[in-house]
Amino acid sequence: MKIRHYSLMALLGVLCFSPVAEAASVSAGKSLFDKGRWRGSFFAGTGQGSGDTYMVAGVGLGYFLMHGLEAGLDGEAWVGSSPQVYKVTPGLRYVYSGFERFWPYVGAFYRRTIYEGLGDLNSYGGRYGAYMGLGGNAYAGVGGVYEKLTGCQETTYTSCSSSYPEITLSLSF
């Protein structure tokens, strides 16, 4: 059985975060990416895998170990089709905040993908993109991801690697 492994996320939460962002604005002179700050993220949308379309929702939490360097943990649930899929992704990301209106980022991650009733998969990859401020503590990101499955056999999977766009919404607190 060939399994096609890729995803495409569409952001739905921008309007939900706007009132929260205004209520918790960054103090004068402080960066969204300063040491000791936290990142909270939410995403929802659709994804495709194994020829099926899924509803996808996820949350993430990150901590800035030093200015611009974040250690994070994100989780996703792919539901509405079979098998249901759950992803747990620890990673590191560096955000360069030297520009006024946008902040480029690069990162690396490891991912554990759990398939209901099937064997689990491991993968690793990198991401890149840029964040833009939305006001207060909210920021949105647009970028790309490259992901490679470990121990992958082309006879089982359509592809052992994938590239896909990434759209995120985050709050710094």
User: Is the entire prediction scored with pTM above 0.75?
Assistant: yes
Which pLDDT does position 4 carry in this prediction? 41
Flag whether 3 is in a domain.
no
Flag whether 8 is in a domain.
no
Which pLDDT does position 29 carry in this prediction? 55
DSSP 160: S
Please, which pLDDT band fits residue 77 given cuts at 50, 70 and 90? very high
Please, which pLDDT band fits residue 143 given cuts at 50, 70 and 90? very high
pLDDT above 70 (res 83)? yes
The sign of the dihedral angle between the CA atoms of 170, 162, 117, 55 is positive
Counting the structural domains of the chain, the total is: 1
Length in residues, the chain: 173
Average pLDDT, the chain: 84
Instruction: Provide the β-strand partners of residue 57.
Output: 44, 77
The sign of the dihedral angle between the CA atoms of 58, 64, 67, 69 is negative
CA distances from 39 to 61, 159, 169 (A): 5, 32, 10
Structural domain boundaries enclosing 68 = 14-22+38-172
